[in-house]
Structure 1
Amino acid sequence: MTMGVEIERKFLVRGAPPLGGAPGKAIEQGYIAVDPDGTEVRLRRSAGRWRLGVKSGSGLVRTEAEADLAEADFAALWSATANRRVEKVRHAVDVGGHMVEVDVYGGALAGLTIAEVEFSSREEAERFQPPAWFGREVTGDPRYLNRELALRPPVDA
């Protein structure tokens, strides 16, 4: 199991982001439980890996723990996420020495693209200057947390 703190800023992306041929990986994510305090238990399937994750908090700094699952265990739990899922293709793009994850959503969220940038410290996150192709910052907007996107997509998605 991996545990840690995630320091991340999120931005909406309008139009086609400059992916520069960055390959994408398909991700399916489903939520077993979502607590009003911001704690979530999720399943993720991507690139032949099955993972169970627990996140808590919201905004710039959150805690996160993840563990690998066997495919059979994932399959046994997946039905518990019915009606609480997102699908997306994630592209990794270098922006000024920062690895940016560009998520292009599908299904009910088709048309939504979000850029996420992780940092090693709060200070680094605050110094980051987003490029012009980033749109409005949604770091503190709970509507753009994946768990919320799975439950109730925002009107402007």
Structure 2
Amino acid sequence: MPLEIERKFLLEGEAVPSAVATEPIEQGYIAVTGDGTEVRLRRIAGNCFLTVKRGKGGFSRIEVELSVTDSEFEELWPATAGARLVKTRHSVRLDDVLAYVDVYEQNLSGLRTVEVEFPSEELARAFTPPDWFGPEITGSDRYKNRRLAVEGLSATAV
């Protein structure tokens, strides 16, 4: 099974470092369960995907992503009503990995996060974030996109 291994941080500074790519993202959730399983529909820079993620804890979980056509995306999109978010993703090169700076829009305006994906848990544990990263929120349910899509910024309140 494909494994997603990532660490996530808040981004509190104003400037986004120079990006190698900038892409708009529309994202909605068809299903979310209490055990951390989610079915996500996403359009990123014109490409459409259906993704199933499974697992709650730590910085790794199962992720299976399938390409879908524009018409399939449009057919499924209404099923995400009430569980959507919009953001712009800036891909920033950090030595041998990419950091994904997400600038949220609409009802999540003002929220900015940065995620780094790794090929192994060992590399994830060994990673030292640069000074421009804010506090680490890896594993914090309050900042999971599925929760933000449903609850908005109130999800981040303590």
Q: TM-score under structure 1 normalisation?
A: 0.92
Gaps (5+ residues) in structure 2? none
> Which residue number in structure 2 is paired with residue 119 of structure 1?
118
After superposition, the C-alpha distances for 1:85-144 in whole angstroms (9 at most, x for unaligned) are: 010000110123221011111011111111000111111111100011111100010111
After superposition, the C-alpha distances for 1:54-106 in whole angstroms (9 at most, x for unaligned) are: 00113301110111111111111100100100100001101232210111110
Work out whether 1:11 is the aligned partner of 2:45. Answer: no
- 2:23–2:88 CA contact under 8 A, matched in 1: yes
Which stretch of the first structure deviates more once superposed, 126-135 or 92-101?
92-101
- 2:108–2:153 CA contact under 8 A, matched in 1: no
RMSD: 1.5
> Which residue number in structure 2 is paired with residue 31 of structure 1?
29
Aligned amino acid, residue 20 of structure 1 = S
CA distance in 2, matches of 1:147, 1:40: 8
- 1:57–1:63 CA contact under 8 A, matched in 2: yes
> Which residue number in structure 2 is paired with residue 74 of structure 1?
73
> Which residue number in structure 2 is paired with residue 150 of structure 1?
149
Which stretch of the first structure deviates more once superposed, 58-67 or 31-40?
58-67
| C-alpha deviation, 1:17, in angstroms | 3.9
CA distance in 2, matches of 1:33, 1:21: 32
Runs of 4 or more consecutive aligned structure 1 residues displaced over 3 Å after TM superposition: 154-157
| C-alpha deviation, 1:151, in angstroms | 1.1
Q: TM-score under structure 2 normalisation?
A: 0.92
> Which residue number in structure 2 is paired with residue 84 of structure 1?
83
Q: Secondary structure at the match of 2:135?
A: strand
| C-alpha deviation, 1:21, in angstroms | 4.8
Alignment CA distance shift 1:21-1:63 (3 Å): closer
Alignment CA distance shift 1:96-1:17 (3 Å): farther
After superposition, the C-alpha distances for 1:27-74 in whole angstroms (9 at most, x for unaligned) are: 000000000000000100122211111001133011101111111111
Q: Percent identity?
A: 50
